[in-house]
Amino acid sequence: MSENCNQDCSSCSEDCTDRKEQKSDFSEKLHEMSTVKKVVGIISGKGGVGKSLVTSILAVTMNRMGYHTAILDADVTGPSIPKGFGIKEKAKGSKQGMIPVKTKTGIDIMSVNLLLENDTDPIVWRGPLISSTVKQFWSDVIWSDVDYMFIDLPPGTGDVPLTVFQSIALDGIIVVTSPQELVSMIVSKAVKMAEMMNIPIIGLVENMSYFKCPDNGKEYQIFGKSYIEEIAEKHNLKVLAKLPIDPNIADACDKGMIEFFDGDWLEPVAKLLEKMEEN
């Protein structure tokens, strides 16, 4: 306690043992039967930049390296993870809790689309109910022996990203962007939100960075100049990877075959995440 303490804890920023007013704790406990070693959030400042694709490829890459991976699909109103993996099965429950669905190669998935009767049924819920669902995916699902969990967050800085940042102990986040200057400006908002909430930022991934012509092997910047280097320097972050525009990727997602797609763009990111295991 400071010598100048006036007993008004509400106006004091000191974190002393004599505080009469404790800070709110929004954290959610993991299910008692679950074991999750590392949790990485995948975020973006806006939609349509390939956040779910990066989430999927990272989970697949780490899975190929011998780690048990899982994806918590927190994009409740726009879930796309099950489609990319070709999952038709629905999640099941027991007295102990919900059981995630396994992909063909053993990746655990939980998404609201695994609970709906029809995949095309819309989720017309207000923010509090959506946030509650995301927390239940963490606390009520039995995640068995997961080495790396990737949380696919909805775009922006609204209710769900805030809920995840406050409720789940993240080991770090990866920010996904695309080359346009407008998108880069919005990414800065997501980065600043994470910085405000003291969430470690692992780095940036740029999707749709370039197109490699199959005829001459040259790379073309379809969306113009990339600004990711400037953003990384501004926030003292690493550029982890740049993904190309490749019609084969979209085709693999549409066919539910993303875990069998051959691409090594995110291997450097996976190796970086692997070092987290050692810490």
Residue with tokens 């691409």: 263
Q: pTM of the predicted model, to two decimals?
A: 0.88
Highest mean pLDDT among 15-19, 46-50, 151-155: 151-155
Q: Which of 44, 46, 42 is nearest to 56 (CA)?
A: 42
- Whether 173 and 41 have beta carbons less than 8 Å apart is answered as yes
Question: What integer is the mean pLDDT of 156-174?
Answer: 93
For 89-135, write each residue's pLDDT tens digit: 999 988 899 999 999 999 999 999 999 988 889 899 998 999 999 99
The secondary element (H helix, E strand) that includes residue 70 is strand 69-73
The secondary element (H helix, E strand) that includes residue 228 is helix 228-234
Distance CA 171, CA 66 (A): 20
Of residues 71 and 12, the one with the higher pLDDT is 71
For domain 34-265, which CATH number applies: 3.40.50.1580, 3.30.70.270, 3.50.50.60, 3.40.50.300? 3.40.50.300
State the average pLDDT for the chain.
Answer: 89
Which pLDDT score is estimated for 23?
A: 46
Which pLDDT score is estimated for 22?
A: 47
For 166-218, write each residue's pLDDT tens digit: 999 999 999 998 887 677 778 888 888 999 999 999 999 999 999 999 999 89
Q: What's the full length of the chain, in residues?
A: 279
